[in-house]
Structure 1
Amino acid sequence: MFSRPGTVLARYLALAYVLLVIYASLHPFAGWRDLGLSPFAFLEAGWPRYWTAFDLVVNVGVYLPLGFLLALALPMPVLPRLLPSLLAVLLGSGLSFGLESVQTWLPSRVPSNLDLACNALGALLGALAAFFHGERLFLRLTHWHGRLVADLPHAELGAVLLGLWLVTQLSPETLLFGSGDLRSLLGLPLAVPFDPPVFQLVEALIVGASVVALGLFARTLLAPRWPAWVGPPLLILAALGVKSLALAVLVSPGDAFIWWSEGARLGLLWGGIVLAVLAWLPPNWRIVLAGLALMAATVLVNLAPENPYSAAALAAWRQGHFFNFNGLTRLTAALWPFVALPYLMLLGRRL
């Protein structure tokens, strides 16, 4: 067997996507109960009484990227070129079957043979896309990855982590660039009551520290052929665009720039100034300072008063079909710093 170009990157992407699918399928992980039913009883059920075209499209669409990534992540044998795609369909269908079976014990979820069929169809379509076009696509992606990303150990994982950080900005209720808030996951009370001056200061510190941390992270991963001022600003601008788009689509177009508060403006300003200076430091220093800034931002997020913009967004946001999506982005935002910090430590040891 041999690895194809892009296989390592595909493996990181596939692993991240599998974890996200598992969480989205079992969210909110509460109220487990045993009704005395077999976990496989849904296979013998007839056509579901309640279903919508939206549900069918989503169930196919969610598993399509999974089949695509799994087919490219698997090592390709010398002879049967179709084998990785077939295994991807089996793995994707098996994952769906396992998750539908586990949903038997979740009161908020209803296992469905129709969901399983749609998921399997999505995995099949994704695997077919990988079979016919995946090699060419990932050759191009690997080419650009080599041009954009520095030749560092586990650089592919770092690129995936930066992509996941952009995903954290999709939640309308999280503070701008705020991640690592464990209070909701652990049921902890707020440490500081809301006070406008205090909230503005904490918000500015969180945004500024995050700009420094993510900017230095991106600068270190950027290939040396690119100027220092290219990568970090593009990442920050992309995050602001994702945040605005999420607010416009999930809340209302008029709330697209609700994040543009006095604290956010101040944080972007001072964070940008500090980043412009630190970006020219040697890689080892950049990694250390990125880790320190990320830890500071995470601590402040867990000490921050309740975000009034978050409350307003939730009041206007009809989650509906996006309930699991919201839980997914919140979990990603809560855990992201605790995955990124060990990666930065590992990267610092290899530089």
Structure 2
Amino acid sequence: MPGPRGRHASTAVPLALAWAATIVYASLFPFTGWRWPVGLGVAEMLRLPWPQYFIPFDITSNLGGYLPLGLLVALARLRHGAGRWSALAGGVLAGAALSYGLEVSQHLLSQRVPSLLDWLLNSLGALAGALLAVLAALLGLLRGWQATRERWLEGGQSGAVALLLLWPVALLFPTPVPLGLGQVGGALRDWLFVLLLDVPWAQSVTLWLDSAPVPSERLSPLAEGLAVALGLLAPCLLAYAASRRGWRRLGLALGATLLALLATTLSTTLNFGPDHALAWAVPDTLVPMAVGLVLALMLAWLGARAAAALALVAFTGLVMLVHQAPSDPYFAQSLQGWEQGRFIRFHGLAQWLGWLWPYGALAWLLVRLGGTRRV
């Protein structure tokens, strides 16, 4: 919906913030070994050394990692009324400043090595992204995107659009049940246990955390099928809560199903290799997904607030079910590969999205039901 002076709420803003947070995570991971380098003064800290060797994967990841940031920042600037040169400068400066701050911070991490080459590549990536944004504006693609949003969605739904765009990325992280996002309870329990381990007044809490039962038995076929169906139905209802009634909702449901199929296939490929890309496509998964799609198509006539209320129920049921699902050996092996292998730079984005995405959707839905239009 247009704002003051023709400006529009931009989906690029929350997406840029999410991407910047991911870059911070990937650049400072594993967040251990903090120390001040011996004999290094403040002036030396601010200087970045030239690397002694080059790794092709690092070069491409540095370029590719900052391209979306430059693109999103420049798009946000354009959508808020800035000129093309101002948007270009904003995208480049945002990427270059963030990269420089993180490279300097890596001096303090024993497992990370700051690099002038990394900063240059990151800045070039941000420049490429900002140039793409300006090119999109010159070609009229931004006006076309805005017109499409206004046809398909109600005004002021940038938060929902950002969530829906991030959903397939969240699905790339290994899940205990297909489409079963939100299993963050185990990680929270482990972090809280470590945090309170040596705190005298918290001994009863740590004992309770240490003795808390961990799911060991696989979900029943009915419960697993329900989780898969809700994993597809809940995002569809989220889309309905942000869109107008009409035939386009059928397109949203079909598009969500296609994204779920593609993201699950890509996730399986990343985890187990191309030969096993379709290992997930078994009747126990496909039938519940079909049920979720049918339910989504049947509910396409709902009003936005009714869809939001049902989405709250669906997301709540989903996170309750996935927290009852155990982590089987193959799932644990996949996580180890993501955390220790080449996926480490991508690991932060997909892991945190996979853990937190349903809760972000729940928060948006609560605000939506609370009567706030611009969420």
**Is 1:172–1:251's contact at 8 Å kept on the other side of the alignment?**
no
1:90 aligns with 2:112: no
Q: Is the 8 A contact 1:173 1:311 kept in 2?
A: no
2:19 corresponds to 1:17 = yes
Q: Structure 1 stretch 273-282 or stretch 86-95: which is displaced more?
A: 273-282
Give the whole-Å Cα distance in 2 for the aligned partners of 1:317 and 1:19: 18
* Corresponding letter in the other structure for 2:72: L
> How far does residue 288 in structure 1 lie from its aligned partner after superposition?
0.6
- Partner of 1:96, secondary structure, is helix
By how many angstroms is 1:139 displaced? 1.8
Correspondence for 1:332 among 309, 329, 353: 353
Matches of residues 300-315 of structure 1 in structure 2 within 5 Å? 300-311=321-332, 313=334
Whether 1:53 aligns to 2:56 is yes
Give deviations 1:276-332, integer Å, cap 9, x for gaps. Answer: 433333322211110111011112212211245424645787963212212320111
Mapping 1:262-301, distance limit 5 Å? 262-301=283-322
Instruction: Please tell me the residue identity of whatever aligns with 1:195.
Output: E
**Are 1:109 and 2:112 counterparts?**
yes
Alignment coverage as a number of residue pairs = 348
| TM-score normalised per structure 2 | 0.81
Aligned equivalent of 2:30: 28
Q: Which residue of 1 aligns with 2:132?
A: 129
Give the residue type in structure 2 aligned to 1:180: G
Equivalent-residue separation in structure 2 for 1:245 and 1:76 (angstroms): 32
With 40-49 and 227-236 compared, the bigger mean Cα shift is at 40-49
SS at match of 2:345: helix
CA distance in 2, matches of 1:59, 1:3: 37
In structure 2, distance between residues paired with 1:145 and 1:246:
29
**Which stretches in structure 2 are left out of the alignment for 5+ residues?**
191-208
Cα 1:79–1:224 shift into 2, 3 Å: closer
d(CA) in 2 for partners of 1:281 and 1:77?
Answer: 33
Aligned to 2:223: 202
Q: Which residue of 1 aligns with 2:237?
A: 216
Aligned position for 2:142: 138
Describe the shift of the 1:152–1:4 C-alpha distance in structure 2 as closer, same or farther (beyond 3 A). closer
State the secondary structure of the residue aligned to 1:50: coil
Pair 94,347 (structure 1): closer, same or farther in 2 beyond 3 Å: same
**In structure 1, what is the Cα distance between the partners aligned to 2:223 and 2:102?**
40
1:170 CA drift (Å): 1.3
Root-mean-square deviation (CA, aligned residues, Å) is 3.1
C-alpha distance in structure 2 between counterparts of 1:244 and 1:346, whole Å: 33
- Indicate which of 340, 343, 361 corresponds to 1:322: 343
- The 3-state SS of whatever aligns with 2:10 is helix
CA contact (8 A) 1:209 1:296 kept: yes
Contact 1:251 1:317 in 2 (8 A): no
Q: Taking structure 1 as reference, are residues 253 and 70 closer, same or farther at Cα in structure 2, changes over 3 Å only?
A: same
Structure 2 CA distance for partners of 1:202 and 1:41, relative to 1, 3 Å: farther
Distance 1:106 1:174 in 2: 33
Check whether the contact 1:207–1:267 (CA below 8 A) recurs between aligned residues: yes
Taking the TM superposition and a 5 Å limit, the aligned residue runs for 1:178-257 are: 178-182=180-184, 183-187=186-190, 191-196=213-218, 198-257=219-278
Q: CA deviation at 1:208?
A: 1.8
- What letter is aligned with 2:344? F
Aligned with 1:229: secondary structure?
A: helix
Mean CA deviation greater in 55-64 or 133-142: 133-142
Task: Tell me the SS of whatever aligns to 2:342.
Answer: helix
Does the 8 Å contact 1:175/1:307 carry over to 2? no
1:142 & 1:311 partners in 2: Cα distance? 42
2:31 counterpart SS class: coil
TM-score (structure 1 length as normaliser): 0.86
3-state secondary structure, aligned to 1:144: helix
Q: Which amino acid aligns with 1:272?
A: L
Residue aligned with 1:108, SS = coil
CA drift of 1:35 comes to 3.4
SS at structure 2 position matched to 1:303:
coil
CA distance in 2 between partners of 1:226 and 1:176 (Å) = 28
How far 1:201 moved relative to its partner? 3.8
SS of the equivalent of 2:95 reads helix
Q: Measure how far apart 1:44 and its partner are.
A: 3.8
Distance change in 2, residues 1:304/1:38 (3 Å): farther
CA-to-partner distance for each residue in 1:256-275, whole Å, 9 max, x for gaps?
A: 12223454235324433433
Taking a change above 3 Å as real, the CA distance of residues 82 and 173 of structure 1, as seen in their structure-2 partners, is same
Q: Which amino acid in 2 is paired with 1:238?
A: L
